[in-house]
């Protein structure tokens, strides 16, 4: 299997790159704005950029498109840029995939739903309520329309190991380790299904190995709001100094609307892979806390 992972400097892409290489697949990962280790440059908005990795020469069987503009509030306030970096970028990748007759995997989100009746299965009616959600929906629909063999994975609240530690869970752990006082103003009414990026990579590997297509929800077994998520992390660090301020989404008044009862059901995936075990937030944070304790003991 030869796989090109676009956006391999990000959380999902980098976990996929590492896991697929462990499985001895021939993988190349690309970056655009941040050059992570073992990645090459590729600009999906300018396919003629002379610095682009030579995708045609590599000739992948599969292209995994993880690159996107994911800052929801920024997308709301910069609609044209959001469209370009999510929809136009994806359409350009579709062009490449079609030219190379490669399967395309697109990473989508539960933001394609309105959050009134979640968590959602793959058959639920889509109704995005933000610019980010609308653009992700348009991109995933374009991917599915381009080739019946293409694959869309919907995910949400991703956490896990990444070079920059940008995700919510990693940021809190890093700040605790650096002995910073945490001030957490978090929505108590936004529910989702947090998923470890390592599990996304493991799921994608199985789906690609078995040549699956269509839409799959990839979701952890936790269902919690942001306050509960923070408390799940903090219980492993009793020495942490923090102030936790629960707020409603209305009180926060962010530029973009959020799905409140969001999240995803992974019944379809589990019906096909009943022996798969998803990690929980507790699993991940407990493991990280032990690692950090070991590091401190070694110093």
Report the C-alpha gap between 12 and 27 in whole angstroms: 14
Q: Residues 241, 247, 251, 255: is their CA dihedral positive or negative?
A: positive
pLDDT in tens, 222-235: 999 999 999 999 99
> How would residue 290 be classed by pLDDT, with cut points 50, 70 and 90?
confident
pLDDT of residue 43 exceeding 70: yes
Q: What is the CATH number of domain 2-165+194-221+262-280?
A: 3.40.50.720
Check residue 294 and give its pLDDT. Answer: 64
Check residue 45 and give its pLDDT. Answer: 97
Percent of the chain with pLDDT over 90: 92
pLDDT of residue 299 exceeding 60: no
Check residue 199 and give its pLDDT. Answer: 98
Q: Which residue(s) pair with 62 in the sheet?
A: 3, 103
Q: Which residue(s) pair with 261 in the sheet?
A: 191
Can you list the pairs that 144-148 forms with residues at least 24 positions away whose Cβ atoms lie under 8 Å? 144/214, 144/215, 146/94, 146/97, 146/98, 146/104, 147/97, 147/98, 147/103, 147/104, 148/213
Check residue 296 and give its pLDDT. Answer: 60
Mean pLDDT of 150-168: 93
Under 8 Å between Cβ of 269 and 203: yes
Q: Where in the chain is the domain with CATH 3.40.50.720?
A: 2-165+194-221+262-280
pLDDT in tens, 169-186: 999 999 998 999 999 999
Under 8 Å between Cβ of 132 and 170: no
pLDDT of residue 14 exceeding 70: yes
pTM of the entire predicted model: 0.96
Residue 149: other Cβ atoms inside 10 A: 14
Check residue 107 and give its pLDDT. Answer: 98
């Amino acid at each position: 299997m030869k796989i090109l992972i676009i956006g391999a400097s990000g959380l999902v892409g980098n976990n996929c790159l590492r896991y697929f290489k462990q499985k001895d697949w021939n993988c190349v990962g690309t970056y655009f704005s941040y050059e992570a280790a073992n990645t090459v440059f590729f600009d999906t908005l300018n396919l003629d950029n002379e610095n682009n990795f030579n995708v045609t020469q590599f000739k992948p069987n599969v292209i995994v498109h993880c690159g996107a503009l994911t800052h929801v509030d920024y997308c709301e306030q910069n609609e044209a840029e959001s469209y370009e970096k999510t929809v136009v970028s994806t359409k350009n990748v579709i062009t490449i995939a079609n030219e190379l007759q490669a399967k395309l995997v697109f990473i989508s989100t539960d933001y394609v739903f309105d959050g009134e009746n979640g968590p959602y299965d793959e058959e639920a009616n889509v109704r995005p309520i933000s610019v980010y959600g609308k653009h992700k929906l348009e991109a995933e629909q374009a991917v599915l329309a381009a080739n019946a063999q293409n694959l869309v994975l919907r995910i949400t609240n991703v956490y896990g190991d990444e070079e920059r530690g940008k995700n919510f869970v990693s940021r809190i752990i890093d700040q605790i380790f650096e002995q910073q006082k945490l001030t957490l103003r978090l929505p108590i009414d936004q529910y989702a299904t947090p998923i470890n990026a390592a599990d996304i990579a493991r799921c994608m590997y199985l789906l690609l190995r078995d040549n699956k297509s269509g839409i799959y929800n990839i979701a952890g077994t936790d269902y919690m709001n942001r306050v509960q998520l923070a408390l799940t992390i903090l219980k492993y660090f009793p020495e942490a100094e923090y102030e936790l301020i629960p707020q409603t989404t209305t009180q926060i008044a962010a530029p973009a609307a959020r799905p409140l009862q969001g999240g995803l059901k992974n019944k379809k995936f589990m019906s096909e892979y009943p022996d798969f075990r998803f990690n929980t937030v507790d699993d991940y944070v407990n493991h990280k806390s032990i690692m950090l304790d070991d590091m401190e003991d070694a110093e």
